[in-house]
Amino acid sequence: MKKTEIERIPIILPEDIGRLCEEARIYDSSCSPEAKVYFIDREGGYYLKVAPSGALGREATMTEYFCKKGLGTQVLSYISGESDILLTRAVAGEDCTATRYLDEPGRLCDLVAERLRMLHELDASDCPVKDRISEYIALAEANFHADSYNKEHFPDSFGYSSGEEAFAALESGKSLLKNEVLIHGDYCLPNMMLDDWRFTGFIDVDHAGLGDRHIDLFWGEWSMGFNLMMHGEREWKKYRGRFLDAYGRDKIEKEKLRAVAAAEVFG
């Protein structure tokens, strides 16, 4: 997770958050244009996320829920006004793209897969977000009809040679996807934290809720291969299969993975 030191957070902050920043080193840790993320280096660390009004409500809700389940960090403040401000404590450790973890790909692969299986087996009957699948499919369909998706991946984007082919597969397979388990929604190596190989929590849970396990399986498998490839691991492809083996093939349905891959073309 990159951090670039800056002099100050360039917005007017609530008084209590402003005091928290006093005499602390501040870093810009943003990684997307949708939100600005700042790391406040004080008392173990805090993260402050700033986004357009209403954009962080789901993340605040699901971060609190994951904290309740012992899976994430504490929400200290969520304010929605002209913009949204979300303050959380930093999760201990480093994310799974740290060199020390990528240097042991087999151990990492098994840990990440087994932790995902544990997530999916939790009782989430009290989850505040009950239906991620409807939103997930609606977004993919809307992006296809608006011609709003990345076409640079073609040919062979997630196994599909065109947007039309992917959309046909989505329409054919979308009824297979069910709201059955608690999902992270963006299950990739940068979103899981470890402290000397001890799991400390998930981060960036704004896409979490009740959904279909195959969404997490798709991204977990993809991220395992991609991050190991970027790390220079020559045999990175074999760890994608190992990830699914470690999770448990008894719960994996190929047609559901194919439907998720089709949806992600337009995600």
- Residues 6 or more apart whose CB falls under 8 angstroms from that of 102 comprise 96, 108, 227, 228, 231, 233
Specify the pLDDT at position 1. 65
CA 53 to chain centre: 21
* pLDDT surpassing 70 at residue 221: yes
Last residue of a domain, one of 89, 110, 130: 89
What pLDDT score was predicted for residue 59? 97
CA distances from 45 to 72, 156, 194, 206 (A): 15, 42, 16, 21
Do residues 155 and 36 both lie within one domain? no
Are 140 and 100 part of one and the same domain? yes
Give the CATH number of the domain where residue 200 resides: 3.90.1200.10
pTM check: above 0.85: yes
125 and 162 part of one domain: yes
Q: 156 pLDDT band (50/70/90 cuts)?
A: confident
pLDDT digits (tens, 9 = 90+) for 28-68: 999 888 899 999 999 999 999 999 999 999 999 999 999 99
Range 156-160 average pLDDT: 90
Average pLDDT over residues 7-33: 92
Q: Are residues 30 and 82 in the same domain?
A: yes
Q: How far is CA 20 from CA 6, 48, 72, 79, 188, in A?
A: 16, 11, 21, 16, 31
Domain closes at, from 43, 69, 89:
89
Helix (H, G, I), strand (E, B) or coil at 66: helix
Number of domains into which the chain is organized: 2
Q: Domain check: are 224 and 127 in the same one?
A: yes
Output the domain CATH number for residue 53: 3.30.200.20
Compute the mean pLDDT over every residue in the chain, rounded to the nearest whole number: 96
Among 71, 89, 107, where does a domain finish?
89
Domain identity same for 35 and 129? no
Least reliable range by pLDDT among 6-20, 87-101, 126-140, 167-181: 6-20
Judged by DSSP in three states, 135 sits in helix
Amino acid at 165: E
Residues annotated catalytic, as ranges: 186
Question: How far is Cα 90 from Cα 235, in angstroms, rounded to an integer?
Answer: 33
Q: How far apart are CA 67 and CA 75, in angstroms?
A: 8
Q: Per-residue pLDDT for 172 more than 70?
A: yes
Pair (152, 195) in one structural domain? yes
Distance, in Å, from the CA atom of 167 to the CA atom of 172, rounded to the nearest integer, reads 9
80 and 100 share a domain? no
pLDDT, tens digit, for every residue of 96-153? Answer: 999 999 999 999 999 999 999 999 999 999 999 999 999 999 999 999 999 999 988 8
Instruction: Name the least confident of 3-7, 218-222, 258-262.
Output: 3-7
Q: Give pLDDT, residue 65.
A: 98
Same domain, 246 and 172: yes
| Predicted local distance difference test score (pLDDT) of residue 63 | 98
- Measured CA to CA, the distance from residue 130 to residue 153 in angstroms comes to 32
Task: Give residue 33's domain range.
Answer: 4-89
Q: Name the maximum alpha-carbon separation found in the chain.
A: 57
pLDDT of residue 98: 97
Are residues 98 and 79 part of one domain?
A: no
For 41, counting Cβ atoms within 10 Å of its Cβ (0-12 exposed, 13-18 middle, 19+ buried), the class is middle
Distance of CA 235 to the CA centre of its chain: 25
Tell me: do 98 and 213 sit in the same domain: yes
Report whether 169 contacts 144 (CB < 8 A).
no
Q: Are residues 177 and 221 in the same domain?
A: yes
